[in-house]
Structure 1
């Protein structure tokens, strides 16, 4: 049984960092475009508030969760955008709603019975996995906000959760892109922000990915193009993975164009 307390503390810290970044936003900052076309800084926070709400439903009222999902799947290509727009509000309204939703979700997840799987978009996960996924998404959308506002974020040890999730979703990345799931394992060796080494996968694996933990997290959340990152792939499976990696559930995300690409080359928002 996983102790949720440390995970929830890291989710709270990641959320607090993003909260501090947007709290001082004026109307112009709130409306500033982010790398996701059509999404402002406000849209990014609205999306997190909505997905926190959906995660709370998954933990407390599965019927309501499935009902909400059923209402959305009539527009599978647009429901994420539509939800962000529906939840968008001025900061004086949205920030308190987001903060209250975070607290509600944390309490709900601590009350999930051991062993219970929570529904999510196209998958199921434990309460611990749900918290890890919320850390990943908060960090990823926080990167969009930081990019929009010109904020340089300091990498923290919380990246380990995202790196772990990214390594665990290797097979999903292949299947989501219509590729056969690899039978080979991939060893991932990453230099953490404090200089230590994080490893995932069997030590004897021939296929390997090595590099910075920050760059790996930017890759698997599709916040940077592979060409802009210092990651090395050894082996055909590892090489293909770096083209399609995604730490999030659902269909393949469009990813990001290389930095400096012509305007319009960057595709849209990745799924939750």
Structure 2
């Protein structure tokens, strides 16, 4: 046993005498700048989208004076076709205070997305260099929130002044459905308390329940939003989350963003219908 300790000690001394630091140079390939698209078909809203360009991880950040000019991709020909009508989206600059999103292409003020339609929406974009972006989507049926139940712990329990919220919806068992659930506290301007994507593969008896922790006080306003989304949008959101996580982890595997865009431009992003249902509930103790 003494010999074993002695060998270990000698080994540690030998390691301490070694130079364990070594610089390694890695040749990174040149980054390919790609178009980036966010386009949501929302019932009752104008046809609009955001078209920008990506940037390399080590690229120099644009100055504030040239921020929009460097990020936005203008001078593209953009049309969305629905029910035989071509809606031309012109270059502009819009800000939606509800979603906190910026758009740089939009159709006319009276060119609104229908509230209901089974027909496809077809996107065609021709960039200034002649490359194209193409995509297609549909509006899904709205799924309503059946109820939001506020529950407090039994009186006398620790922290019995805080409540949780249980959100109930009815799922259609005859189709594969995907949902995005968002929960804001007191204002849509705040960061969401919850924001996640789920499907109905594990749903039993057609009832879906979204829960929270015991985090809300009497008087709080809970703004619950339910989006009935397509599978490609669910895949896109999950891939964006994976890419964001991998981007902050030097030891993680690369995670590509999975888009539903076609065409010659090799663009990133999403073109999808966005149908939502929202309700507000004030936390009270019955």
TM-score range, shorter chain: under 0.3
TM-score normalised by structure 1 residue count: 0.28
Higher helix share: 1
Structure number with bigger Rg: 2
- Which has more strand, going by share of residues? 2
